[in-house]
Amino acid sequence: MNKNLRKTVIAGNWKMNKTPSEALEFVKELAPIADNADCDVVACVPYVCLQNALASAAGSKLKIGAQNLHWEAKGAYTGEISADMLKDLGVEYVIIGHSERRQYFAETDVTVNKKVVSALAAGLKPILCVGELLAEREQGITAEIVRMQTKVALIGVEKESLKDIIIAYEPVWAIGTGKTATSDQADEVCGIIRDVIAELYDKDAAEGTTIQYGGSMNAGNAKELLSKYHVDGGLIGGASLKSADFGIIVDAAK
Ligand code: 13P
């Protein structure tokens, strides 16, 4: 299949950065970048910034996403936010299973799966993160880890829902370290994820799925990474907090 037939998505993950007031202003800088892009552009912002980000993005092509959700629709889950709450605000995307949540907040493949199912049921588009630790890469088990994370995350997900899911390959050792995977490493593992989709569903589904790379992607290396056959976009942390850098990355997807 021609890679250009797949949807390319560049998404910023602000992580725990920017106040609601800062978000209101910063999204005004991002909106024109999205309007001039050849790909979909998303900003995944902290919960408290969602409303301001949505207000600033209104009328532009910039899409707004959250960074997490709880899988239950409502109830006694103090401090948590449900998919329906996000949907009601007008949020379109939600990052699920980011390695920082797996590492610091005890997320497992099983809870990630519950969150994916719940997001889809509410009409949100999950950006499902998978990726290996440095020790796992050194042990030679990257493929096993990424295959397992992908397979468990997709339990109960129908083929028709795949068009609403983005998978982000984020090697944990490349996140916030300045240590990017080489474009060949990124392409290889994104290809492994595509093979898993083909095994679980079929080849058409696999060829149509958007698979991003994330991990120290920046203005300098984006073009090379995005040129790879299996890399259909990026999930950008640090470089999404500066509009000039983020704009260069979005341009690199052209
Ligand atoms: P960095 O781009 O800062 O390495 O973060 C990547 C990431 O975790 C995006 O979700």
> Which of 166, 173, 236 should be mutated for ligand 1, with most atoms under 8 A from CB?
236
Q: What is the pTM of this model?
A: 0.98
| pLDDT on residue 3 | 87
> 128: helix, coil or strand?
strand
Q: How much distance in Å is there from the Cα of 128 to the middle of ligand 1?
A: 14
Residues 5 and 210: beta-carbon distance below 8 Å: no
**CA quadruple 105, 110, 112, 117: dihedral positive or negative?**
negative
Q: What count of other Cβ atoms lies within 10 Å of the Cβ of residue 238?
A: 18
* Per-residue model confidence as pLDDT tens for the chain (254 residues): 688 889 999 999 999 999 999 999 999 999 999 999 999 999 999 999 999 999 999 999 999 999 999 999 999 999 999 999 999 999 999 999 999 999 999 999 999 999 999 999 999 999 999 999 999 999 999 999 999 999 999 999 999 999 999 999 999 999 999 888 999 999 999 999 999 999 999 999 999 999 999 999 999 999 999 999 999 999 999 999 999 999 999 999 98
If residue 73 lies in a helix (H) or strand (E), which one and from where to where? none
Place of tokens 């797996």: 102
Q: How much distance in Å is there from the Cα of 66 to the middle of ligand 1?
A: 15
Q: What DSSP string describes 148-176? A: HHHHHHTTT--GGGGGG-EEEE--GGGTT
| pLDDT on residue 2 | 82
Residues 30 and 61: beta-carbon distance below 8 Å: no
| Pair of tokens at residue 216 | 């120290």
DSSP state of 82: B
